[in-house]
Chains A and B, each alone.
Chain A
Amino acid sequence: MSHLAYANRPHQTDDAHAHIALISAGFDGELDDQELLMMLERHQSDINASCWQTWQLIGDTLRQSPSTHPSRLAQRVAEQLKHEPTVLAPKPLRAMHKKRMMSLAASVSVVALVSWSALHLALISPHTTQLASSAPASHAIQIAQIDPARLASFVAAHRDFALSANSPDTDTSTQTTAEPTQ
């Protein structure tokens, strides 16, 4: 970051991100000496030993250069864990209950959807199966030869009582030529 850039940078004392970015730039060597001094004077109170170590570690890692300051990562993690308070108290009931119930609800919904789909399949499948197997005798029955006129008369007479009886394709000639039964 150039001096000009630093000078023109909006001084966002309230902007934590800009604040940290500027300090980070100083540790990354992106500031010249004068800029660095200005940054240190302005943000001295924000910089402590921990920050120095952290930023230097990050910089070394990114540059893939041996750290001049051993990170002592494992040691520092162990120390951090040692200082972490042991949480024995349960999490707030509301939050935990909410999570459990949402999980339960999600499970129920999944089961419901699966069951619903299965129910549909179960209802339709037997029908299809039954229909598919509804002509078991067809293999043993031969094709018959019926005179077309006789066949047509059977079909026309049947349509008088079937669902298609009043359909417009009913053969009306059959009805007009029928004679009284003796």
Chain B
Amino acid sequence: MKLWLTCLLFACMPAWADAPTTPGDAAAWLNRVAQATHQLTYQGVFVYQSQNIMAISHVSHLVDNNGEISRLDALSGPPHAFLRINDSVYCSIHNKPSSDIGHRPHHSFFPEILPYPNTHLNDYYQVRSLGHAKIADHDCEGVLLIPRDAYRYGYALWADSTSHVLLRLIKLDAHGQTASQLTFTQIDIGHAPTRAQLGIDFNDKSPIKHNGNETAPKTVWQITTPPPGFHHVTETVMMLPDHAQPVTHLVYTDGLATVSLFIERQTQPNTFHQQGLVQHGQMLLYTRPMGQYQVTAVGAVPLATLVMMADNLTSIERK
């Protein structure tokens, strides 16, 4: 009997070895993490680290009968805070009498970064378990998201094994090395300030509204063949600093990787009519002329992704 048990143990070794690398249902796990991170109440301190940049923030996330409310306070650098109430995002700058308001349905604070309610990340990333680790004194389960193609980079996610709230996100670069990470150093799951406490700094400020979509764009922009998994998120027309003309801002994402396309009309010939690549930290910018417009694609993604998007951009003039 002992012999057979020994043989069984040996025979089961592949299953043991394989278990940490093949979660039973990766899609279900990712959805569970996304749901918990959006629907549970918590507050904590997290650290953002990227190359030589490190900063600390405090985030509070409250879910009650009125919906979601999140607040992000910068604990390092210039004092400022973000407040998101459902789809509206406010930014409060210390010593400024006004607060910036933006209607950004896809703007979320860490750790609310996974698509919700449904994520299809496992269609574009292989999911491999990283086992368990302790983060902010919580036992966490980690997964590695390995891109299935060359249009995105990888990620490592760690979520609390009990509540499934996301506690760490590591973004990998082209070499599979850590490019940046967001990780909680302390978190209290189940507790957060009241709604009134979260908005206390914003009540006495007059909002400045921008990024609105009140005027329908005269031109409809679309990417005929986006990279697999990338879908259109939003389109806004805005004024950016140091830009003479309104800029159309298209946002595409696969759920984690995000690409922006900025389209601006040239007011004068050869003002910025050029084609090429610029690297800004982890960001890549690919710009090219398109008729009377200049298109600039921005994102921390492979260059092939930016080129494919910018080169496949088409426009339809509305009558």
Contact = CB atoms under 8 A, between A and B. Distances in A.
Contacts of A133: 150
B77 interface: yes
Interface string B84-125: 000000010100101010101011111001000000000000
Contacts of A137: 303-304, 307
Nearest to B279: A143
A107 to B, nearest CB: 9
Contacts of B242: 147, 149-150, 153
A155 B302 contact: no
B234 to A, nearest CB: 7
A79 B149 CA distance: 75
B168 interface: no
A74 interface: no
Given A141-B286, A158-B258, A131 B153 contact: yes
B126 A123 contact: yes
- For the residues of A in contact with B, the DSSP-based class is helix
A17 interface: no
Interface in A157-182: 157-158, 160-169, 172-182
B128 interface: yes
B193 interface: no
B174 A134 contact: yes
Contacts of B31: none
Given A163-B258, A166-B109, A154 B285 contact: yes
Contacts of A108: 10-11, 13-14
B278 interface: yes
A154 B17 contact: no
Nearest to A144: B276
Interface in B57-84: 57, 72, 74-78, 80, 82
B200 interface: no
Interface in A120-148: 120, 123-124, 127-128, 130-138, 141-147
Contacts of A18: none
A141 B176 contact: no
A142 B277 CA distance: 6
A132 B304 CA distance: 12
Interface residues of A, number: 66
A123 to B, nearest CB: 6
Contacts of B135: none
Given A113-B17, A161-B251, A154 B174 contact: no
A101 B169 contact: no
Contact of B110 (A109, A145, A166): A166
A20 interface: no
B241 A149 contact: yes
Given A157-B262, A161-B234, A161-B253, A132 B174 contact: yes
Nearest to B172: A131
B298 interface: yes
Interface string B140-170: 0000001101110110000000000000010
21 contacts: A112-B13, A120-B21, A124-B176, A127-B176, A135-B302, A145-B278, A150-B242, A153-B243, A154-B262, A154-B285, A157-B249, A158-B258, A158-B260, A161-B258, A164-B50, A166-B72, A166-B110, A167-B48, A167-B180, A168-B57, A168-B75
List the 8 closest A-B pairs by CB distance, nearest first.
A144-B276, A168-B55, A105-B10, A134-B150, A134-B302, A116-B17, A112-B14, A158-B260
Interface of A: 97-98, 101-102, 104-106, 108-109, 111-113, 115-116, 119-120, 123-124, 127-128, 130-138, 141-147, 149-155, 157-158, 160-169, 172-182
Given A127-B154, A130-B149, 16 more contacts: A108-B13, A113-B13, A127-B126, A131-B154, A134-B150, A136-B304, A138-B303, A141-B307, A143-B276, A144-B278, A144-B286, A150-B243, A155-B283, A160-B107, A168-B55, A181-B215
